[in-house]
Structure 1
Amino acid sequence: MLLWINGPFGGGKTQTAYELRRRLPGSVVCDPEMVGFGLHRAMPPELRGDFQDLAAWRQGVVEVLDLVLRKHEGTVIAPMTVVNAAYFEETVGRLREKGHDVRHFALLARRETVLDRLRERTLFGLRPQGDSFAVGNLDRCLEALRGPEFAEHIHTDDISTRQVADRIAASAGLTLEPNTDGRLRGEMNRILVGIKHIRF
């Protein structure tokens, strides 16, 4: 099974993905963004636009996830924002056509909630690269993701990452191990995931 976790930039996709991985034995996170970063590194900076516009990204994501889904016995988790309906069909749709069990979830929240989360993403006072892009595309993402083609929707304003993971697992028919982290350990996990995926 593939759990594709969609949502606006800064909407909690990565934190949710790693919460699921911690509590779902045998699961693995495969981040489609890494395919895009690889393509960007092969190009001079002045030519780097939105890597999702590259057919190579969409094809590459399908090939990588198809391979992992065929060879890996556990659940695969892909945190990735995709709001272009055509690109969604070329990735999620093609994986379904290949016979894979793809469960898609869009994490939604009020604009103010996402902005607050983005403001919290700092390390020693430094802001991550891409936050201005995230803010500039926030309204477009939230509007597009409300569409029925991007269901199942999970509204995250008033629930924790742990609860988001619980809802995804329940909807997908998966059993998670209990989250026994105390407040301090939970906060440390959140910080470590954030540091690992932050880019300046």
Structure 2
Amino acid sequence: MLLWINGPFGGGKTQTAYELLRRLPGSVVCDPEHVGFGLRRMLPPGLRADFQDIPAWRQGVYEVLDLTLRTYEGVVIAPMTLVEPAYFEETVGRLREAGHEVRHFALLAERETVLRRLKERGLGGGLKRESFAVRRLDDCLERLSGSQFAEHIHTDRVSVVGVADRIAASAGLTLEPNRDGPLRHRLRRVRISLRHIRFD
């Protein structure tokens, strides 16, 4: 099974993916962003636009996930913002057509909630550091609210643990109990955020 966790930038996809990984034995996170980062690094700076517009990204994501789903026995988790319907069909749609069980979840929240989360992860740079995410926010929220991007999970008043619980319940998966206290949970979230800082 593939759990594709969609949502706006700053919507909690990565935190949710690693919460699922922590509590779902045998699962693995396959992050489609890494395919895009590799493509960006190969290009001269002047050609580094949105890597999702590069056909090789969509093909690469499909091939890597198809290979993983065919050969890996555990649940595969892919956290990735994907709002262009044609690109969604080239990746998620093709994986379904290939016979894989794909469960897609779009994490949604009010604009103010996402802006607050982006500011918190800006590491002192505030929203300026997250300017790309802020520019794309309204478009992401509008597109992801469409029926094509269901199943929707509204996260404004739901913790990361709660979001993971909802995804697992919907997908028919059993998570290990969450035994983290508030401090340990906060430290875990900070560590995950630091591991996923982008510098390019």
Q: TM-score, normalised by structure 1?
A: 0.97
- The match for 1:104 is 104
- The match for 2:191 is 192
- The match for 2:133 is 134
State the SS of the aligned residue for 1:143: helix
Aligned counterparts of 1:63 and 1:44: Cα–Cα separation in 2: 25
Contact 1:129 1:199 in 2 (8 A): no
Aligned counterparts of 1:178 and 1:130: Cα–Cα separation in 2: 35
Aligned counterparts of 1:42 and 1:187: Cα–Cα separation in 2: 36
- The match for 2:3 is 3
State the SS of the aligned residue for 1:122: coil
**1:196 maps to amino acid:** R
Aligned counterparts of 1:171 and 1:24: Cα–Cα separation in 2: 14
* Number of equivalenced pairs: 199
Contact 2:21 2:27 in 1 (8 A): yes
Aligned counterparts of 1:67 and 1:189: Cα–Cα separation in 2: 30
**1:34 maps to amino acid:** H
**What pairs up with 1:42-81 in 2 under 5 angstroms?**
42-81=42-81
Aligned counterparts of 1:66 and 1:129: Cα–Cα separation in 2: 37
- The match for 1:115 is 115
State the SS of the aligned residue for 1:78: strand
**1:46 maps to amino acid:** G
- Deviations for 1:10-46, whole angstroms, at most 9, x for unmatched residues? 0000000000000000000000000000000110011
**2:122 maps to amino acid:** T
- The match for 1:181 is 180
Contact 1:30 1:77 in 2 (8 A): yes
Contact 2:118 2:126 in 1 (8 A): no
After TM superposition, give the deviation of residue 156 of structure 1 in Å.
0.2
Aligned counterparts of 1:130 and 1:63: Cα–Cα separation in 2: 32
- Deviations for 1:127-170, whole angstroms, at most 9, x for unmatched residues? 59961000000000000000000000000000100000000000
- The match for 2:152 is 153
Structure 1: any 5+ residue segments left out of the alignment?
none
**2:169 maps to amino acid:** A
C-alpha change, 1:152 and 1:128, in structure 2 (3 Å) is same
- Are residue 15 (structure 1) and residue 10 (structure 2) matched? no
Contact 1:26 1:75 in 2 (8 A): yes
**2:6 maps to amino acid:** N
Aligned counterparts of 2:72 and 2:26: Cα–Cα separation in 1: 9
Aligned counterparts of 2:99 and 2:125: Cα–Cα separation in 1: 44
- The match for 1:87 is 87
C-alpha change, 1:103 and 1:130, in structure 2 (3 Å) is farther
Give me the CA root mean square deviation: 1.2
- Are residue 167 (structure 1) and residue 170 (structure 2) matched? no
**2:51 maps to amino acid:** F
Aligned counterparts of 1:186 and 1:129: Cα–Cα separation in 2: 27
**2:57 maps to amino acid:** W
